[in-house]
Amino acid sequence: MVKYDLLGFKSLEEYIDKFMDTLLYTNKTYNFFVDWNKVREHVKRYIKEINLLNSLTKVNIEYRRKLLKEILIKYPETVPVLPLILAVRDKDITILEVGETLSYKKYSFYGDSLSPKEIDELVVFADKTGILDLMGEISDLYAYLMGVEVGLDTNTRKNRSGKIFQELVKIMIKRALKDLGDKYKITLREEISVKSLGVSIRRAYKRIDFALYLENQPRIVIECNFYNVSGSKPIEVAEAYVELNSLLGERNIPFIWITDGPAWRKMKNELIQAMKEIDYVLNLKLTEIYLKRIVKNMLKFDFRI
């Protein structure tokens, strides 16, 4: 059960109330929305090819087909840019063609030398997918592709949300260790293999977010996650951490679960069940307040340093 008394609370119920009252409404920092460095990197890698294809924006539709064919003949390295215009990163695309019968047409976009037939097929692809028409509606292909990459980048926001929370937790850990690290010679390691801790867990969580090492031995394990939306995933994670907590306990390695997010307001009962099994369940605000005290307690009493 959560060691609420160590943190100055009179009961588990009082601790739960504090936990729920201090949950974050969001973990969206300014870096959440777009990873601009990645967006620019994806576009700039084809800067030469984009400039070549940009000439298609300067001519009418009749000459556009002819010009694209000329570009593909002379500069086959421009081919990988075509699917990017459609917000697709695949180098192989299969199209279902609907005619008198159903058939498939395969296209490859690797930028290798092309046969005359392949070039003609790519021009047809650009025509039928609307790329040639688009070139008459935009003035700068580079600016357009920046917008495309921003759109593609939004698909990674779910993963970025977890990474942002992990970075926030890392900041809190470093603050807690600011004085303790030198005194106890603690080192912080990230993305630690569960197997390296001597633990065999049946569930799918194979890596640990953080581990504090003392004399090259794991002394404290910390996992963190943030949930905006309730559902089966947070419940599954909570169950897995109850198991991990038990297995680590057999090796005398304390486990801290730092979790946050508005989703827990709708899954309070599941969270309470985990708190009844795990000694340390914190949200980010409680981590900021109590992590240093918890680490000092673990080092002083659990390991008798």
192 neighbors 151 (Cβ within 8 angstroms): no
Residue 94 located in a structural domain: yes
In 3D space, the residue among 136, 116, 117, 152 whose CA is nearest the CA of residue 42 turns out to be 152
| 248-269 pLDDT per residue, tens | 999 889 999 999 999 999 999 9
Question: How far apart (Å, rounded) are the C-alpha atoms in residues 147 and 39?
Answer: 9
The per-residue b/e assignment along 185-220, b for 16 or more CB within 10 angstroms, e otherwise, is ebebeeebebeebebebeeeeeebbbbbeeeeebbb
pLDDT range class, residue 211, cuts 50, 70, 90: very high
Question: How far apart (Å, rounded) are the C-alpha atoms in residues 254 and 279?
Answer: 8
Note whether 248 and 164 are same-domain residues: yes
Note whether 204 and 80 are same-domain residues: no
Mean pLDDT of 154-171: 87
Quote the pLDDT of residue 209. 93
Number of domains making up the chain = 2
Does 127 score more than 90 pLDDT?
Answer: yes
Residue 148 located in a structural domain: no
Other C-beta atoms lying within 10 Å of the C-beta of residue 5: 11
Residue 184 located in a structural domain: yes
Does 131 score more than 70 pLDDT?
Answer: yes
